[in-house]
Each structure stands twice: as C-alpha cells, then as structure tokens.
C-alpha cells in the first residue's frame, strides 16, 4: 500500500435493466454519494426526457481502484427497473 494519502474520485453509474449495456446516466464528484439499497426508489424527473420516470433499485455493485501517485477511484453501479411512483 502507498502510505501517501491520495484524493478520491467518486463515480455513480446507473444502468437500466442490467449491467450489460452502457450506463443510462453517470455522475462524478469529489465527495461520496449517498448510500443506496436494493428496493430504494429513484426519481428520474431531472434526467433527459426519455428517462422521466420512477425506478426501483434492483442491484448494486461497487468497484474500487488505485492509480499509484494519482488518485483512488470508487465506483458505485446501480441497476434500476421502471416502477410506479411510490405512495
């Protein structure tokens, strides 16, 4: 392990139906995203027009890597399925 503290880049990738295809939408930031859990609802009303629906999280995957001397990457991948608006 490298004893030097490296900056962390956070990646959130959202996939519709499965992780097989390219992400539907993705985000990147310098601070962690909120915690997600299977069964959570996702409001996509601010996404591009074709995705303005409610979704439910069906699966979650995480990936962490380090590029020596550069940064650490943390990726959260979320698989969503279309859902009715929660009550």
Q: What's the start-to-end Cα distance of the chain, in Å? A: 48
Model confidence, pTM: 0.83
| Model confidence pLDDT, tens digit, residues 24-60 | 899 999 999 999 999 999 988 888 767 668 899 999 9
Residue 81, pLDDT above cutoff 80:
yes
Alpha carbon of residue 71 to chain centroid: 19
Reading the block at residue 10, the tokens are 């956070």
CB-CB contact of 26 with 78 (8 Å)? no
pLDDT of 3 reads 63
* CA separation for the pair 8, 32 (Å, rounded): 9
């Amino acid at each position: 392990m490298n004893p030097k503290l490296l900056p962390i880049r956070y990646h959130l990738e959202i996939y519709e139906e499965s992780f097989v295809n390219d992400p539907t939408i993705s985000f990147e930031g310098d601070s962690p995203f909120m915690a997600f859990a299977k069964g959570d609802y996702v409001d996509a009303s601010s996404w591009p027009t074709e995705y303005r629906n409610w979704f439910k999280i069906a699966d979650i995957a995480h990936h962490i890597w380090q590029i020596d001397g550069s940064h650490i990457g943390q990726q959260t991948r979320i698989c969503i399925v279309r859902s009715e608006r929660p009550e």
